[in-house]
Amino acid sequence: MILEWQAVHGIRNWRGALVGGLVIPLVTLAAIGFGLGAVVPHGAVGDSSYLRFVAPAVLATAAFQYAVAESTEPVMAGFKWQRTYEGVAVTPVTPRQMVIGQLLWTAAQIAASGALVALVMVACDAMEPLPALLALVFSTVGALAFAAPVMAFSAMVRDGSAFTALNRMIILPMTLVAGTYFPISQLPTAARGLAMATPLWHTVELCRDGGTGGPTSGAIAVHLAVLALWAAIGLAATFRLFRRRLTF
């Protein structure tokens, strides 16, 4: 039901969604992958071309950015700007169902826009079809795992300026250093540990593993476990905060 509510929104805002979900990652791919790729010597990032190195990361990063966009302002609007959550709170829908509905809708959008991005990447030979499909699945899963704690953050803070801080101090640095545009082996040790704790790094690794057929199923299991942990903590916090703010 909530899913449907969100869907009605989504259909009305499809132009905005298209810009955010498709144009931005593709411009990034063009600028970083082709542009920067042209000056990065072959072999600098393992045995693939820079374009192929960066493509799965661009997919994952785009998915994360989508997840952040869907889990910040819409949540604040629901609690405060429009109070639509209060409206739902008097229906049989429980706060927990509201959270799940919102996350499912976010996942659906991420998957849909990611699919388009992946298609274009395959078309311009930045990824192979099967790895692209795997990367699509992993990036959606990873972004969803990140959406949960971001949603908790949004339910906790009281005004929109917190989102600017979140973007500047967490999202942007994470996007730059979590093994996205260069391998984390380039980072100083302390920073490397930090990067390895981010859900984005694990997602990027998963997307890339699918692409290169490299590491083992053991590594995949570890990445997935870390993402599951982020999701579980985020979800538990979000449930609590939603209940607290809707039934006071």
Q: Which residues bind other proteins (CB under 8 A)?
A: 1-2, 4-5, 8-9, 12, 82-94, 246-248
Output the smallest distance, CB 14 to other proteins, in A.
13
Among 8, 67, 40, CA closest to 234: 67
Nearer of residues 82 and 186 to other proteins, judged by Cβ: 82
Cα–Cα distance measured from residue 30 to residue 95, given in angstroms and rounded to the nearest whole number: 42
Nearer of residues 101 and 199 to other proteins, judged by Cβ: 101
Q: What is the DSSP letter of 214?
A: -
Output the smallest distance, CB 10 to other proteins, in A.
11
Nearer of residues 98 and 152 to other proteins, judged by Cβ: 98
Nearer of residues 11 and 190 to other proteins, judged by Cβ: 11
Output the smallest distance, CB 82 to other proteins, in A.
6
Nearer of residues 77 and 194 to other proteins, judged by Cβ: 77
DSSP one-letter string for 152-211: HHHHH-SSTHHHHHHIIIIIHHHHHHTTTSS-GGGS-HHHHHHHHHSHHHHHHHHHHHHH
| Interhelix angle 95-123/2-12, nearest 10 degrees | 40
**CB 152, CB 234: distance < 8 Å:** yes
Output the smallest distance, CB 131 to other proteins, in A.
38
Output the smallest distance, CB 96 to other proteins, in A.
11
In this structure, how many other beta carbons lie within 10 angstroms of the beta carbon of residue 111?
18
Nearer of residues 91 and 186 to other proteins, judged by Cβ: 91
In this structure, how many other beta carbons lie within 10 angstroms of the beta carbon of residue 133?
15
Backbone conformation region of residue 91, classed left if phi is above 0, alpha if psi is from -120 to 50, else beta: beta
Output the smallest distance, CB 23 to other proteins, in A.
22
